[in-house]
Amino acid sequence: MSLSIQELEKTVAELTAPGKGILAADESDGTIAKRFKGVNVASTEETRRDYRELLFSTPGLGDFISGVILFEETLKQKTAAGVPLPQLLTAQGMVPGIKVDKGTMPLPGFPEEKVTQGLDGLAQRLSEYKQLGARFAKWRAVIAIGAGLPTPQAIAANAHALARYAAICQEQGLVPIVEPEVLMDGDHTLATCARVTEEVLHAVFHALHQQRVALECMLLKPSMVVPGSACLKQVTPQQVAQATLTCLRRTVPAAVPGINFLSGGQSEAAATANLNAMNANAERQPWVLSFSYGRALQAPVLKAWRGEAANKIIAQQALYQRARLNSAARQGKYTAAMENE
């Protein structure tokens, strides 16, 4: 076995550790500015650093969080005391990762659909990120559901980009997280989401096979199968779990070690309850089913923090609580009553 494969497998083993999930703290400058605006905090390099240092230094967070996805700026920042943020994560027992895509752009010829950019120069960027401490990476593709959407061409274009990214990551010694997000926006039904998600995952794994990606050395970050946010018929966590697991069994090879769901606009409690329903399912699944949440872990933290240093402890307690509840859901042991403990 080559050293690079051993290195990748070690990272996968740490990221899929029992009872743990991944914190997505890789918001772009535009996204974090929106989140900060919601709590009346100006988005500056300093406030972004202070906030993320607050997240990463939460006492005991490493008990529930195995890895953290960073934005490029964060990977290069230091704490107020001068410690590089990746080193702070490592000291907490968490693996540093990095978002490497450059965002979406309109897909030429398909004005209502998008494709993710960032493959140019990716190998060189990954080499630099690895030197800065990153051990895994993430690339997000966005698939919209609507009248006549998604088109096969948009699915294929995004699947190809995800697979090329994953192959380049593995060549550079970083574990790729492959994120095909089927958006919740719209009034589509659970059944429609299931059909589209199945099509997307089939295309993604076909592309990964074509690009010779080692499935044992990657993680999948899909959206759950849920109705559109404007759908009049919402469903129970058990229905979400059944639809999602059926879709995954049809599309995701057993060689993939872990599936870390994105929260994708679900409320904090819904994202936790839906994950729990999947892990409470009596049938044994071939993959670890965990979380890679951003807003669903951070929303209570931002509300508590509001940019005030005096609120640091209560904000960290909010993150610890949310991470603890999702750790319980990762084990199928979460109950709604735990929200008030």
Q: At what angle do helices 45-56 and 312-330 cross, to 10 degrees?
A: 50
Among the listed residues 191, 184, 182, 295, the one whose alpha carbon sits nearest the alpha carbon of residue 230: 184
Q: Are strands 288-293 and 258-261 parallel, antiparallel or unpaired?
A: parallel
Is 114 designated active site? no
Catalytically annotated residue among 20, 114, 138, 221: 221
* Residues contacting residue 24 through CB under 8 Å, at least 6 positions apart: 68, 69, 138, 262, 292, 293, 294, 297
Is 221 designated active site? yes
Report the SS3 class of residue 136.
Answer: strand
Sign of CA dihedral 57, 29, 101, 276: positive
Catalytically annotated residue among 179, 181, 199, 268: 179
Query: Whole-angstrom Cα distance, residue 188 to residue 341?
Result: 35
DSSP output for 92-124: TT-EEEEE----EEEETTEEEEEEE---TTHHH
Angstrom distances, CA of residue 46 to CA of 51, 62, 67, 307? 9, 24, 23, 11
Among the listed residues 218, 129, 99, the one whose alpha carbon sits nearest the alpha carbon of residue 166: 218
Angstrom distances, CA of residue 130 to CA of 4, 109, 339? 13, 36, 38
Residue positions counted in the chain? 341
Angstrom distances, CA of residue 26 to CA of 2, 174, 295? 31, 17, 11
Please name every residue paired with 212 in a beta bridge, in sequence order, or none if there are none: none
Active site residues: 179, 221
